[in-house]
Structure 1
Amino acid sequence: MSARPAEAGKAAVTTTAAPAPGVPRAPLAPLVIETEGLTKRYPGDRLAVDGLDLRVPEGSVFGFLGPNGSGKTTTIRMLLGLITPSAGRARVLGGEMPGAGRRVLPHVGALIEGPALYGFLSGRDNLRRLDAADPTASRADRERRVSEALDRVGLAPAADRRARTYSLGMKQRLGLAAALLRPRRLLVLDEPTNGLDPQGMREIRVLVRALAAEGTTVFLSSHLLDEIEQVCDHVAVMAAGRLRAQGPVTELLAARAARVVVTTGDTEEATSVLGAHGVADVRQDGSDRLSGEPPAGLDPAALNAALVGAGVRVRAFGTEAITLEERFVELTGEGFDGGR
Structure 2
Amino acid sequence: MAEPAATKRERPERPDRTEPPGRSEHRERGSAEDAVIATRGLTKRYRGGQLAVDGLDLTVPAGSVFGFLGPNGSGKTTTIRMLMGLIEPTSGTARVLGRPMPREAHAVLPRVGALIEGPALYGFLSGRDNLWRYDAADPGADPRTRRERVAAALDRVGLSAAAGKKAKAYSLGMKQRLGLAAALLQPRHLLVLDEPTNGLDPQGMREIRTLVRELASDGTTVFLSSHLLDEIEQVCTHAAVMAQGRLITQGPVADLSAGARGRLVVTTPDVADAARVLKEQGAGDVVVAEDRVTAEPPGRDLADLNTALVTAGVRVRGFGVERASLEDAFVALTGEGFDVAG
Shorter-chain TM range is 0.7 to 0.9
Deviations 1:111-154 (A, max 9, x none): 11111100111111101111111111111211111111011111
Q: Secondary structure, in 3 states, of the residue corresponding to 2:281?
A: helix
Determine the structure 2 residue equivalent to 1:266.
Answer: 273
Deviations 1:240-290 (A, max 9, x none): 111111111100011123221235321563134431xxx4x3322447754
**Contact map agreement 2:230 2:340 (CA 8 A) in 1:** no
Give, in whole Å, the separation in 1 of the partners of 2:278 and 2:291.
11
Give, in whole Å, the separation in 1 of the partners of 2:298 and 2:143.
64
Determine the structure 1 residue equivalent to 2:153.
Answer: 149
Q: Secondary structure, in 3 states, of the residue corresponding to 1:178?
A: helix
Q: Secondary structure, in 3 states, of the residue corresponding to 1:203?
A: helix
Aligned identity (percent) is 67
2:208 counterpart of 1:204: yes
2:295 counterpart of 1:292: yes
Determine the structure 1 residue equivalent to 2:4.
Answer: none
State the 1:108 CA deviation. Answer: 0.5
Paired letter, 2:53: V
Matches within 5 A, 1:296-307: 298-307=300-309
**Contact map agreement 1:271 1:282 (CA 8 A) in 2:** no
**Contact map agreement 1:20 1:215 (CA 8 A) in 2:** no
Determine the structure 2 residue equivalent to 1:22.
Answer: 19
Matches within 5 A, 1:68-107: 68-107=72-111
Residues 269 and 195 (structure 1 numbering): CA distance in 2 closer, same or farther, change over 3 Å?
closer
State the 1:313 CA deviation. Answer: 5.2
State the 1:155 CA deviation. Answer: 0.7
**Contact map agreement 1:62 1:235 (CA 8 A) in 2:** yes
**Contact map agreement 1:61 1:219 (CA 8 A) in 2:** yes
State the 1:92 CA deviation. Answer: 0.4
Paired letter, 1:36: R
Residues 163 and 199 (structure 1 numbering): CA distance in 2 closer, same or farther, change over 3 Å?
same
Q: Secondary structure, in 3 states, of the residue corresponding to 2:40?
A: strand
Determine the structure 1 residue equivalent to 2:41.
Answer: 37
Residues 269 and 163 (structure 1 numbering): CA distance in 2 closer, same or farther, change over 3 Å?
closer
Choose which of 247, 251, 255 in structure 1 pairs with 2:259: 255
Matches within 5 A, 1:205-244: 205-244=209-248
Give the structure-1-normalised TM-score. 0.86
Give, in whole Å, the separation in 1 of the partners of 2:183 and 2:212.
12
Determine the structure 1 residue equivalent to 2:112.
Answer: 108
Determine the structure 2 residue equivalent to 1:3.
Answer: none
Give, in whole Å, the separation in 2 of the partners of 1:189 and 1:255.
27
Give, in whole Å, the separation in 1 of the partners of 2:226 and 2:281.
37
**Contact map agreement 2:65 2:235 (CA 8 A) in 1:** yes
**Contact map agreement 1:234 1:249 (CA 8 A) in 2:** yes
**Contact map agreement 1:147 1:156 (CA 8 A) in 2:** yes
Paired letter, 1:269: R
Residues 285 and 324 (structure 1 numbering): CA distance in 2 closer, same or farther, change over 3 Å?
farther
Deviations 1:20-57 (A, max 9, x none): 96259x99863100010111111222111111111111
State the 1:202 CA deviation. Answer: 1.3
Determine the structure 2 residue equivalent to 1:14.
Answer: none
State the 1:314 CA deviation. Answer: 4.1
Q: Secondary structure, in 3 states, of the residue corresponding to 1:237?
A: strand
Give, in whole Å, the separation in 1 of the partners of 2:335 and 2:285.
18
Paired letter, 1:284: V
Determine the structure 2 residue equivalent to 1:15.
Answer: none
Determine the structure 2 residue equivalent to 1:117.
Answer: 121
State the 1:159 CA deviation. Answer: 0.9
**Contact map agreement 2:239 2:253 (CA 8 A) in 1:** yes
Give, in whole Å, the separation in 2 of the partners of 1:151 and 1:272.
56
Paired letter, 1:282: D
Q: Secondary structure, in 3 states, of the residue corresponding to 1:58?
A: coil
State the 1:217 CA deviation. Answer: 0.6
State the 1:196 CA deviation. Answer: 1.5
Determine the structure 1 residue equivalent to 2:335.
Answer: 333
State the 1:178 CA deviation. Answer: 0.0
What runs of 5+ residues in structure 1 fail to find an aligned partner? Answer: 1-18
Paired letter, 1:274: Q
Determine the structure 1 residue equivalent to 2:311.
Answer: 309
What runs of 5+ residues in structure 2 fail to find an aligned partner? Answer: 1-15
Residues 255 and 114 (structure 1 numbering): CA distance in 2 closer, same or farther, change over 3 Å?
same
Paired letter, 2:281: L
